[in-house]
Amino acid sequence: MARATAPARKALTTAIAGTLAFVMFFPILWIVVLSFKSEVDAIRAPLQVLSSGWTLDSYGAVQERSDYFKHFWNSVIISLGSTFLGLLVAIPAAWAMAFVPGKQTRNVLMWMLSTKMLPPVGVLVPIYLLFINFGLLDTRIGLVVVLMLINLPIIIWMLYTYFREIPGEILEAARMDGASLREEVLYVLTPMALPGIASTILLNVILAWNEAFWTLNLTASRAAPLTAFIASYSSPEGLFYAKLSAASVMAIAPILIMGWFSQKQLVRGLTFGAVK
Amino acid sequence: MGRITLNNVGKSFGAVEVIPPLDLTIEDGEFVVFVGPSGCGKSTLLRLIAGLEDVSGGQIRIDGADATGLPPARRGLAMVFQSYALYPHMSVRKNIAFPLRMAGMDKAEQDRRVAEAARVLNLTDYLDRRPGQLSGGQRQRVAIGRAIVREPAAFLFDEPLSNLDAALRVGMRLEISELHERLKTTMVYVTHDQVEAMTMADKIVVLNAGRIEQVGSPLDLYRRPRNVFVAGFIGSPRMNLITGPEAARHGAHTIGIRPEHIRVSDDETCIWKGEVGVSEHLGSDTYFHIHMAGRDEPLTVRAGGDVDLYHGDTICLKPDEAHIHRFDEKGHRIE
């Protein structure tokens, strides 16, 4: 018998969930509100902030002071580039681990994931020195490579989970039908895993888009993505709440919109394997 | 052509020997069934022939040429899997054409072969559907279609009917047999269902723990099982195997008698006497499970449909002496 849920109880849990969601969303909402205020109004008490007048001045000022679109394109190139480069490495890796598992496969997976447990600052100096030596500082290609490496364990792990759901017999059938390894991956495995690959791409684009540690430390101006664009407004010159908020809204809007339209795919990606 | 010979072919996974070295010849055009209980190595043997597993030793020859090291696609064999293994993202047409496309065949010839296969398998109306929109039987036909378009030297079937319901299974069994009649191509068929083996095979290979117990025609195996394992495995219901004094009376360690070779007699001159346990009335036949003194397992007896005996009745049995199989302590047949 299904568990009976009293209407009152249902209303209560809905209210609690709604409150929690609001609390979590509030900082973003507040940033949006502040971005439409003048600098003077933005630092007032919350109620006064709400009752003060609305303005687009901050957006104008931000666009005037720094080139939004340059940063935007840097973000797009870095996040998409690192994700697709990652896929090129991860699809064969995940294929091998899912369909030709060896005794050490699980250990290799754990080892790869364990690299995510290392605090990035621990390898900042060596990577920084490598960047200097190879002339990669403040270049987009340098960031593409670093972010690809940072997210690679997650890409491989996600794809591995998806691939394991694909029956091995289908790949064997392809092999019997004369498909080479490349054809097997291209015509059979990839199309079948497309939903999984799509979720993986989405999640990794978001991770790369929001990545701030490496992008801030390894860029100056030319390759600086939107994270650096935001950071430039929490400056030593003083606190510019309204402009900082406007910059933040401009930085997160694209990824928020993308996330909104691909919600279903994302949720499926994150819960895959749990309910099949 | 499709003559397959295995010379000393064996398979081990690590230290575990799944198939001890064995020899087997499958003649061109033959319908050979590998049968045995779960885990007997029959599927592994098929996969060795297919090239999906590497042999640990020995040689596989197809039409005289050494195929041991060849990748699956270059052996000229086609395989039908238990799970159908269709490509879910492709239409039926594309599924069937896939091996032709991989072979780089020109489009017109692909279309011709796909149309022909679809006609033979009654799939013409379903060519533009996806596998997910088909029933189990139709899916299996698509899998067979994908195999026949290649015009292979031999077909390999890995328990192709075990995912189908009973009624469909009988139908597909006939279809595969008819296909063999028409194509005259070598077929190697793996099943754990001895009824499938008996009804379809030209030659049955009975496997147990990776070893070949007996190779022969279905009736050969039925009439002259070489050992106790084959005697017990082939035939449904199972052959009754009896040890002890009754066997000793026949000069054997074990004797076997099939359910249809025991007569129910109503006179008092019965040779074996027992009490009726469960009786299965099938209409045409009745199977009685008879409990006899000194025997743990009930004795199965096949009688006509009109024998009216029920649970608890005492029954008189007469074994047909001419059909008693005798086996020694090692389980080998005594002639």
Rg (CA), chain B: 24
Q: What is the CATH number of domain B241-334?
A: 2.40.50.140
pLDDT of residue B307: 81
**B177 or A115, greater pLDDT:** B177
User: In the predicted model, is pLDDT for residue B23 greater than 70?
Assistant: yes
DSSP letter at B332 equals B
* Mean pLDDT computed over B161-185: 89
Compute the count of residue pairs across chains A and B with CB atoms less than 8 Å apart. Answer: 56
Length of chain A: 276
In terms of CA atoms, which chain B residue is nearest residue A193? B89
In terms of CA atoms, which chain B residue is nearest residue A188? B87
In terms of CA atoms, which chain B residue is nearest residue A176? B73
- Give pLDDT tens digits for A233-262: 776 666 778 888 888 898 888 888 888 888
How far off is chain B from A172, nearest CA to CA, in Å?
Answer: 7
Count Cβ atoms within 10 A of the Cβ of residue A1 and give its class: 0-12 exposed, 13-18 middle, 19 or more buried: exposed
C-alpha to C-alpha distance for B311 and B307, rounded to whole angstroms = 13
B4-232 and B241-334: same fold? no
| Residue from the list A176, A183, A187 with its beta carbon closest to the beta carbon of B79 | A176
- Give pLDDT tens digits for B191-226: 999 889 999 999 999 999 999 999 999 999 999 999
- Give pLDDT tens digits for A77-89: 999 999 999 999 9
| Residue from the list A172, A187, A194 with its beta carbon closest to the beta carbon of B85 | A172
- Cβ under 8 Å to B: A residues 31-50: none
Q: What are phi and psi of A72, to 5 degrees?
A: -60, -50
Here the tokens at position A241 are: 């709440």
Q: What are phi and psi of B302, to 5 degrees?
A: -100, 125
* Mean pLDDT computed over A61-76: 87
How far off is chain A from B140, nearest CA to CA, in Å?
Answer: 13
User: In the predicted model, is pLDDT for residue B104 greater than 80?
Assistant: yes
pLDDT of residue B50: 95
Share above pLDDT 90 across residues of chain A, in percent, rounded to a whole number: 34
DSSP labels, B155-219? EEEESTTTTS-HHHHHHHHHHHHHHHHHH--EEEEEES-HHHHHHH-SEEEEEETTEEEEEE-HH
Domains defined along chain A, listed by start: 7-59 (no CATH), 66-232 (1.10.3720.10)
Cβ of residue A186 closer than 8 Å to a chain B Cβ: no
**A80 or A64, greater pLDDT:** A80
CB atoms A183 and B72 under 8 Å: no
pTM of the model: 0.79
Cβ of residue B82 closer than 8 Å to a chain A Cβ: yes
pLDDT of residue B273: 85
pLDDT of residue A270: 59
In terms of CA atoms, which chain A residue is nearest residue B148? A177
- Give pLDDT tens digits for B116-142: 999 988 899 999 999 989 988 899 999
pLDDT of residue A42: 79
C-alpha to C-alpha distance for B186 and A105, rounded to whole angstroms = 39
CATH number (3.40.50.1360, 3.40.50.300, 1.10.10.10, 3.10.180.10) of B4-232 reads: 3.40.50.300
3 state SS of B314: strand
* Mean pLDDT computed over B263-278: 81
In terms of CA atoms, which chain B residue is nearest residue A180? B102
Cβ of residue B40 closer than 8 Å to a chain A Cβ: no
Here the tokens at position A198 are: 């799509």
* Mean pLDDT computed over A56-64: 85
How far off is chain A from B295, nearest CA to CA, in Å?
Answer: 46
**A12 or A222, greater pLDDT:** A12
ipTM here:
0.83
Long-range contacts of A180-184 (CB under 8 A, 24+ apart): A183/B102
Cβ of residue B13 closer than 8 Å to a chain A Cβ: no
Here the tokens at position A256 are: 């928020």
User: In the predicted model, is pLDDT for residue B59 greater than 70?
Assistant: yes
Mutate to test the interface with A, among B43, B46, B70, B87 (most CBs of A within 10 A): B87
pLDDT of residue A275: 38
Q: Which of A8-12, A35-39, A40-44 has the lowest mean pLDDT?
A: A40-44
Q: What are phi and psi of B138, to 5 degrees?
A: -65, -40
The domain locations on chain B are 4-232, 241-334
Share above pLDDT 90 across residues of chain B, in percent, rounded to a whole number: 66
Q: Which residues of A touch B77 (CB under 8 A)?
A: 176
- Cβ under 8 Å to A: B residues 114-173: 146, 150
Give me the sign of the Cα torsion angle B122, B124, B125, B131.
positive
pLDDT of residue A52: 83
pLDDT of residue A268: 65
Beta-bridge partner residues of B13 = B16
Mutate to test the interface with A, among B46, B79, B150, B162 (most CBs of A within 10 A): B79
3 state SS of A62: helix
CB atoms A173 and B79 under 8 Å: yes
A154: left (phi over 0), alpha (psi -120 to 50) or beta: alpha
Give me the sign of the Cα torsion angle A3, A7, A10, A12.
negative
* Mean pLDDT computed over A121-150: 92
Give yes or no for a contact between B150 and B109, defined as CB atoms under 8 angstroms apart.
no
* Mean pLDDT computed over B311-330: 90
pLDDT of residue A3: 60
* Mean pLDDT computed over B216-244: 93
**Over chain B, what is the mean pLDDT?**
91
Single-letter amino acid, residue A243: K
* Mean pLDDT computed over B260-280: 83
C-alpha to C-alpha distance for B101 and B55, rounded to whole angstroms = 29
> CA angle at residue A176 from A172 to A181, to 5 degrees?
65
* Mean pLDDT computed over A6-23: 92
